[in-house]
Structure 1
């Protein structure tokens, strides 16, 4: 049997399902009879059962008297910071740079998962095809990017990064199977409230870590508006109520799940949870038994608030503004109404709510009060229908529909105005007076506020409408959270830069180092911390024995876990540009290294500097490598090399070019080609390596190369080029072509014969053979025109 053929034969990767992978793991530790029981229970128990696998483990443990546990998958801060690759499960491992690349493509170019994976797979296939054409041996089959698996992995990783950034968590659990849609949706359903709470709490206090916002306008006003372009198909069942806000009672919100559009024998208008039960009546007609219990409650409450604008028939009369929100749901609309969003006056999004139903006043209040549960809002508000909202609060405050509590007292003292974009469309008398943002009753609180930040933010978010429509609940809410978080990071500037500046300023003020144990310095720091930051400091003050303890804890708390990977990728790609000063390159590399690891040694930094520096610099610096034991020594030699380059290299190139270029007095058409000389001319003239050529032109001569250019007879130079052209190596072709181009572009008769040396390739005044004093020809005391030696040239 030939084993060598088996070893060299191509292997086809085997794809296993999650169930098969689980069976393989159980076979390693469990007897076969126990595995059979597990499989039977898994098939018997419904998938909707909460904590299904925990129940299976408890049954097996009780029956067989074992202590099995359901394994959970965790991601740590260290793995996100240090690991280059991400593997959750399945047959694909993702480079973190790939996830970061998609993140930037999403934010900057609005690329969808489908578009990104299609482009990536096409690129891989073209590269593979190109390589196969060049290679005689066939390569193994390539693995293409799976859109669903990549999408779920990206979402989970960014959810974990978001939690690490906004909380003190260092470990976060994720679903065992990324490919199990039901398990992932259950996971998203469980954490969506926690994510929203962290999102609101973090961004309503963003002023504590960013300095980009204008302190005079930051967080002074909040603007509420609805965005309907981010709509998607939703279940038509509307009797889903939210009871999370005690002051409002049950608020009709509608179902966020997607309808069953492709399933058979179902009503395609409803999701799986709200399929209408079909009963047969006496006349054998099928009738859905959905009961719309409170169908008109939201509309009725809105009408009560606008009672003075409702006529006898129950319809709104003409005195009502043509801009208002009634809460009426269109029965013909099968998609959602987008989402409600709240912006601060500095364009930061601090809250959002998906809207399966229309934008009624109680739903707007539900949105605002939910934000107030987890964060703080300014005491001034802009809304395109603020007039109706104000009338609604005045009419229903203190009733069962809007109970009076400490939270709702905020609404009664809240300053309200219509934003400047919509106020021109309002016709009600109150809209023309007290609801205008520039009315005196507001005490100029809206004077310097951009009340159109919501419209401007929606113009950016509308570019994602195709991406929004591709999501189903609860994944849609998770995607909103991640996307709005990225948007806020872009708006405010990344918190890391402000945190670094804060840390550096404290160090400079207090003159501290890592071993400093002066508690007065920590008192200075405590005085700079407010709100959540101050609470964090108080809770951890007992572990701050010295400055390094505080700095480590501070970095772990406030430094981002994703920026390190971006900076490391930039560090690997950074090279010294040809026209870039060495100091600019070294400063950039050192800053990147310090950002990645503040304790990085000088030797490692020098390695990064040497790997990307200009090859000419690297050659010279390598000669001093044994002397460069510190970063200061490296910077010293680099500065010397830069000065030498600036002094000699550029001067030599300029001198050669100046000699070749025709004087300014000649016509423009005669020297146009010399304004942009090819750099290869100077380089090749300076360093010829062909020994025969070097001997012919540069041997036994003490004159400068410039004088040789001035003195060589043209026919001789041209003949040597044509004679030796075929015998020169390939690398000298550019030199000969350039020299020949220079020779051919200069007319033979462009100068009269020089009165000193007789040649016609320069002016008399520029001749290198002229004397420096007296007569230019012979050096005598007479005038040049009277020189007796001129007769041979007259």
Structure 2
């Protein structure tokens, strides 16, 4: 970097001008590669592989992502042990889970991608790839979804009506059973009609310690579903081996209800899933007033959770606010 700085200073002092304007996408790729290499060295890799050319950048990123992401989860989940506590005796006392929808991006409109995980035999996710230019689909799904063929698809009005009917039937059939959490109108899932029409991602989800350290994160391509949140949290436990003492999520009542009702059935009873089911969840103090279910009011109150005494349950919101301000300043 010192060599680069000296060359830049020499060019500036000599009034030398750049003859060709660099493509901003090329510059962005170079910066991404630099930061990825920097992180790879940071986690202790003795050597780092690089793509032979920028054209191979995407394939290279896909190949190194699983390893680097696992290292990220392990390091920051255990930062208290590795680096020492950052906030005295309150470091990593709680995990705050929250979503952030201000960083949405264009994604392929293929919304019915079915995957199998260690937790679920079947999970529907959206395609994460960027669409081709002048298209709504990526290179992998363009031939499967001809954009001129609209005869096989319902029109938007039919989709909206059917979605409303399903929602009405679901609400009508709901009863106060065991958890009683379904009385809270705090579900994050969107209807199929909205999901199919939407050509952008649904933001990111992050698990943040009360000391504002991101331990894991993910991106939503359909909607914020309970399955994807459970998969995110169990992956973190499996990779890091760290089980948080307590956790906070603004829709924690539905998350806990789903976990306890489905574990051992269509949700595999893995070590991570069983560990997650034993964690005491609460609702963020900011959103608890929106929760009206009887079980939720009795069991999800953060002020009645002794593990959250003097704990910052708004760490994720504060982090996202800082990121938003940082992004604004960058532009």
TM-score bucket of the superposed structures, by smaller chain: 0.7 to 0.9
User: What does residue 321 of structure 2 align with?
Assistant: 459
User: What does residue 87 of structure 2 align with?
Assistant: 214
CA–CA distance in 1 between the matches of 2:317 and 2:236? 20
Q: TM-score with structure 1 length normalisation?
A: 0.36
Which of 61, 66, 84 lines up with 1:188 in the alignment? Answer: 61
CA–CA distance in 2 between the matches of 1:198 and 1:365? 20
SS class of match (2:96): strand
Instruction: Compare relative contact order (CA 8 Å, sep 6+) and give the higher one, 1 or 2.
Output: 2
Q: CA deviation digits over 1:106-128, x for unaligned, max 9?
A: xxxxxxxxxxxxxx9xx96xx77
User: What does residue 47 of structure 2 align with?
Assistant: 171
Which of 225, 230, 237 lines up with 1:360 in the alignment? Answer: 225
User: What does residue 379 of structure 1 align with?
Assistant: 245
Give the Å deviation of 1:228. Answer: 0.6
Aligned residues: 310
Give the Å deviation of 1:368. Answer: 0.7
CA–CA distance in 2 between the matches of 1:467 and 1:189? 30
CA–CA distance in 2 between the matches of 1:335 and 1:464? 22
Which of 286, 311, 318 lines up with 1:449 in the alignment? Answer: 311
CA–CA distance in 2 between the matches of 1:204 and 1:392? 25
SS class of match (1:341): strand
Q: CA deviation digits over 1:175-201, x for unaligned, max 9?
A: 1113x2xx1000011111111011001
Which of 287, 294, 300 lines up with 1:422 in the alignment? Answer: 287
Q: CA deviation digits over 1:702-749, x for unaligned, max 9?
A: xxxxxxxxxxxxxxxxxxxxxxxxxxxxxxxxxxxxxxxxxxxxxxxx
Residues 327 and 358 of structure 1 are in contact (CA less than 8 Å); yes or no, is this contact kept in structure 2? yes
CA–CA distance in 1 between the matches of 2:17 and 2:250? 60
SS class of match (1:311): helix
With over 3 angstroms needed to count, the CA separation of the structure-2 counterparts of 1:332 and 1:172, relative to structure 1, is same
Give the Å deviation of 1:161. Answer: 1.6
User: What does residue 272 of structure 1 align with?
Assistant: 139
User: What does residue 310 of structure 1 align with?
Assistant: 171
User: What does residue 767 of structure 1 align with?
Assistant: none
1:63-462 superposed matches below 5 A: 84-85=2-3, 94-95=4-5, 142=19, 146-167=23-44, 169-178=45-54, 180=55, 183-211=56-84, 213-243=86-116, 245-262=117-134, 268-277=135-144, 286-287=149-150, 310-312=171-173, 320-326=183-189, 328-329=191-192, 330=194, 331-375=196-240, 376-399=242-265, 401-439=266-304, 442=305, 444-462=306-324
Task: Compare CA radii of gyration and give the structure with the larger one.
Answer: 1
What is the Cα-based RMSD across aligned positions, in Å?
A: 3.5
Q: CA deviation digits over 1:607-643, x for unaligned, max 9?
A: xxxxxxxxxxxxxxxxxxxxxxxxxxxxxxxxxxxxx
Give the Å deviation of 1:327. Answer: 5.3
CA–CA distance in 2 between the matches of 1:467 and 1:152? 21
CA–CA distance in 2 between the matches of 1:445 and 1:96? 53
Residues 326 and 360 of structure 1 are in contact (CA less than 8 Å); yes or no, is this contact kept in structure 2? yes
Residues 248 and 283 of structure 2 are in contact (CA less than 8 Å); yes or no, is this contact kept in structure 1? yes
CA–CA distance in 2 between the matches of 1:149 and 1:278? 30
Give the Å deviation of 1:212. Answer: 5.9
Q: TM-score with structure 2 length normalisation?
A: 0.82
Residues 232 and 335 of structure 1 are in contact (CA less than 8 Å); yes or no, is this contact kept in structure 2? yes
CA–CA distance in 2 between the matches of 1:371 and 1:288? 43
Residues 230 and 464 of structure 1 are in contact (CA less than 8 Å); yes or no, is this contact kept in structure 2? no
Give the Å deviation of 1:143. Answer: 6.0
Q: CA deviation digits over 1:17-37, x for unaligned, max 9?
A: xxxxxxxxxxxxxxxxxxxxx
Residues 417 and 437 of structure 1 are in contact (CA less than 8 Å); yes or no, is this contact kept in structure 2? yes
CA–CA distance in 1 between the matches of 2:109 and 2:2? 45
CA–CA distance in 1 between the matches of 2:198 and 2:149? 23
SS class of match (1:172): coil
